């Protein structure tokens, strides 16, 4: 993983790059937190300045960036922020540094068309910036799901600045930069040829990803940082194609009759015969996705100095190379179970469970009487997880479901050590971290929902909490100890709800308009998933020198699910906790996660209770006045 920084001064600026570098000390920016293993810069010429910071994950040693290659009159420079999990080009060797592999591949390309073909072969999360002197060209972009952050701004109305994180310009006295996320809709090219040349292409051009069979390029942005974007007439960058006609096809008569019969005769959450093949394929693809994300990572961080922790943790605990954002829901529990399948047997796995401090609720006799009446009606698996049962302190719903799923994992996998890390966040800690770091990391995403989810992910990914004796008996602790996860990789469950009809709106759309409308909604969500969450989540996790990896968003799994009709992903006629994400729930049940498989979804902001931490009545899409805009960005990103 890497932090990307690039500054392109306009053609009239002679020494702007050096001057701007002095004003923006990158070593003092949040940007450098992304890459604690090395920082380097390169002044390509008087106009172009590049810098990169590196988190070493693959290869024998950290490969500093930018990576420069010289060949006769050709000069190529790469900034690569990503992981290459697979590549369809046989020339690429995945055994060592993926940064080196991508640099070699692109250097062999002699034209823009060849570069676009090569970029289309790369599988895995990434953002990149590439300079080709022989083509007078800059290429930049994010993968088609937007799993890595890349921001762009126009400084002083003349210069373009790319960065993985919004920069703090207060030291330079300039706070007018308005950052925008680079859309994850294709590869952008920027011509450096003199404007007077009649053969020069348009200044900024988009080479779109080929995804959909029938809707053209509706993701094309009209402009980027105020500059018009032209659509390339070349073939788009090939990824995978979603056959929208097949996706929207209604269930056949046999499947419909089988589903109706199941509803009349309720069965345990096992895969129905007509869905068994899909559950097999889903489990295989998800297991492969988890495997490469678990196995392609470096050693964990070394133990901290004793003075860094209030109570020194036993050094023999520190053996976890993998951590999981763990709420106890079916998505994260299934990821944890598959991670245990593929991680080395001697390693423990850290389960990071975050909770925000709650004030004790005020007594309400009427509500208390109603809750007492309803408690007896709850199914056994949901007892103790009602939000109303959480009370004050840190006993929030996600803590309770996390403990339940922890017990299920340990029963299913007795030989695997799971460290359950309780991450308790006070209101004071929340407000301080938001002011000092989270607000800038969120930018340009500045809604109430961005605040809630961004803060929850930031504290969870920090990995600092407690190991308690009662929840970590395998450690034989005499008392609670302070703990910081050493993992450089955090597995996150984002994407499952969008791909598998997991939101309540999917159930509502089904009730009103049926499966064809659900298919249209899911198709739209796949297109916009990059702009909604993932860039922000990447910035939050990477701020701790860790890398977010999203097993549900592997391209091969996404391609498979995107081409399944919705009635093979979810049975929205079933009860909540069973019908949505049916494919995933059947897979979890098959693996033995019976309780997690039927646990209803609860959004992170409600399960961790951050949404109620500051007692505000707000809509998620409202601009959040608690977030300080970075670089003068005044409006929430839509």
Catalytically active residues are 2
What does the alpha-carbon distance between residue 583 and residue 283 come to, in Å, rounded to a whole number?
9
What does the alpha-carbon distance between residue 212 and residue 209 come to, in Å, rounded to a whole number?
9
Among left, alpha and beta (phi > 0; psi -120 to 50; other), residue 358 is beta
What does the alpha-carbon distance between residue 439 and residue 540 come to, in Å, rounded to a whole number?
10
In sequence order, which residues have a C-beta less than 8 Å from that of residue 535 and are 6 or more positions away? 142, 146, 148, 149, 150, 151, 181, 445
Determine how many CB atoms are found less than 10 A away from the CB of residue 520: 16
The H or E element that residue 385 is part of is none
> Residue 380 class from Cβ within 10 Å (0-12 exposed, 13-18 middle, 19+ buried)?
exposed
What does the alpha-carbon distance between residue 324 and residue 259 come to, in Å, rounded to a whole number?
34
| DSSP 8-class letter at 563 | T
Cβ(283)–Cβ(590) below 8 Å:
yes
* Range 254-257 contact pairs with CB under 8 angstroms and sequence separation of 24 or more: 255/567
The pair of three-digit structure tokens given for residue 618, joined into one six-digit string: 């707000």
| DSSP 8-class letter at 221 | -
What are the distances in angstroms from CA 152 to CA 21, 167, 544? 17, 11, 22
What does the alpha-carbon distance between residue 305 and residue 79 come to, in Å, rounded to a whole number?
33
> Which sign does the torsion angle of CA 484, 487, 488, 493 carry?
negative
Determine how many CB atoms are found less than 10 A away from the CB of residue 187: 23
Nearest partner of 117 among 127, 125, 109, judged by Cα = 109
Kindly give the interhelix angle for 397-412 and 330-342, rounded to the nearest 10 degrees. Answer: 30
Pairing of strands 489-491, 322-325: parallel
What does the alpha-carbon distance between residue 146 and residue 128 come to, in Å, rounded to a whole number?
12
Beta-carbon-side half-sphere exposure of residue 340 (alpha carbons within 13 Å): 23
Percent helix, strand, coil in the chain, to 5, is 40, 20, 40
Helices vs. strands in the chain: H and E counts, helices first: 20, 25
* Range 538-541 contact pairs with CB under 8 angstroms and sequence separation of 24 or more: 538/125, 538/147, 538/148, 538/149, 539/149, 539/164, 539/165, 539/441, 539/442, 540/438, 540/441, 540/454, 540/457, 540/458, 540/461, 541/457, 541/458, 541/461, 541/490, 541/492
């Amino acid at each position: 993983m890497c932090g990307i920084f690039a500054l392109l001064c306009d053609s009239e600026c002679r020494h702007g790059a050096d001057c701007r570098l002095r004003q923006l000390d990158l070593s003092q920016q949040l940007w450098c937190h992304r890459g604690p293993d090395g920082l380097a810069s390169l002044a390509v010429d008087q106009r172009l300045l590049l810098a990169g910071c590196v988190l070493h994950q693959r290869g024998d040693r950290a490969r500093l960036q930018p990576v420069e290659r010289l060949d006769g009159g050709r000069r190529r420079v790469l900034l690569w922020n990503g992981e290459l999990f697979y590549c369809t080009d046989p020339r690429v060797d995945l055994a060592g540094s993926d940064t080196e592999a991508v640099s070699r591949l692109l250097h062999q390309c002699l034209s823009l068309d060849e570069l676009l073909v090569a970029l289309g072969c790369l599988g895995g999360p990434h953002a990149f910036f590439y300079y080709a002197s022989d083509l007078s060209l800059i290429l930049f972009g994010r993968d088609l799901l937007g799993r890595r952050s890349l921001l762009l701004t126009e400084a002083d109305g003349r210069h373009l600045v790319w960065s993985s994180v919004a920069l703090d310009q207060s030291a330079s006295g300039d706070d007018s930069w308005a950052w925008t996320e680079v859309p994850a809709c294709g590869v952008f090219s920027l011509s450096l040829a003199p404007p007077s040349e009649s053969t020069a292409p348009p200044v900024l051009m988009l080479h779109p990803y080929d995804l959909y069979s029938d809707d053209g390029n509706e993701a094309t942005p009209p402009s980027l940082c105020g500059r018009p974007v032209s659509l390339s007439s070349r073939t788009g960058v090939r990824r995978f194609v979603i056959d929208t006609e097949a996706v929207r096809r209604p269930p056949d008569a046999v499947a419909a009759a089988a589903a109706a019969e199941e509803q009349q005769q309720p069965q345990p959450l096992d895969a129905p015969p007509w869905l068994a093949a899909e559950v097999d394929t889903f489990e295989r693809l998800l297991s492969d996705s988890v495997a490469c994300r678990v196995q392609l990572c470096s050693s964990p961080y070394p133990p901290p100095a004793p003075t860094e922790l209030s109570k020194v943790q036993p050094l023999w605990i520190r053996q976890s190379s993998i951590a999981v954002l763990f709420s106890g829901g079916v998505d994260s529990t299934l990821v944890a179970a598959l991670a245990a399948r593929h991680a080395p047997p001697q390693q423990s796995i850290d389960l990071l469970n975050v909770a925000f401090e709650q004030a004790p609720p005020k007594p309400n006799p009427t509500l208390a009487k109603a809750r007492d009446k309803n408690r007896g009606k709850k199914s056994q698996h949901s007892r103790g997880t009602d939000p109303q049962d959480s009370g004050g302190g840190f006993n929030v719903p996600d803590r309770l479901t996390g403990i339940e799923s922890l017990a299920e994992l340990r029963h299913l996998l007795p030989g695997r050590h799971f460290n359950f890390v309780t991450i308790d966040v006070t209101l004071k800690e929340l407000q301080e971290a938001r002011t000092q770091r989270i607000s800038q990391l969120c930018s340009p995403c500045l809604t109430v929902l961005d605040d809630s989810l961004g803060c929850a992910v930031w504290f969870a990914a920090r990995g600092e909490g407690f190991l308690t004796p009662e929840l970590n008996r395998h450690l034989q602790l005499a008392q609670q100890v302070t703990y910081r996860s050493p993992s450089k990789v955090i597995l996150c469950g984002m994407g499952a709800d969008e791909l598998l009809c997991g939101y309540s709106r999917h159930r509502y759309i089904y009730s009103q308009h049926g499966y064809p409308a659900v298919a249209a909604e899911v198709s739209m969500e796949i297109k916009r998933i990059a702009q909604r969450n993932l860039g922000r989540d990447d910035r939050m996790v990477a701020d701790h020198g860790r890398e977010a990896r999203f097993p549900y968003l592997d391209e091969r799994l996404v391609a498979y699910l995107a081409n399944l009709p919705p009635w093979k992903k979810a049975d929205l006629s079933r009860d909540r906790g069973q019908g949505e994400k049916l494919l995933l729930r059947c897979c979890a049940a098959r693996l033995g996660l019976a309780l997690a498989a039927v646990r209803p979804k609860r959004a992170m902001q409600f399960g961790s209770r951050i949404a109620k931490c500051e007692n505000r009545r707000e809509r998620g899409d409202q601009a959040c006045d608690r977030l300080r805009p970075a670089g003068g960005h005044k409006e929430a990103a839509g």
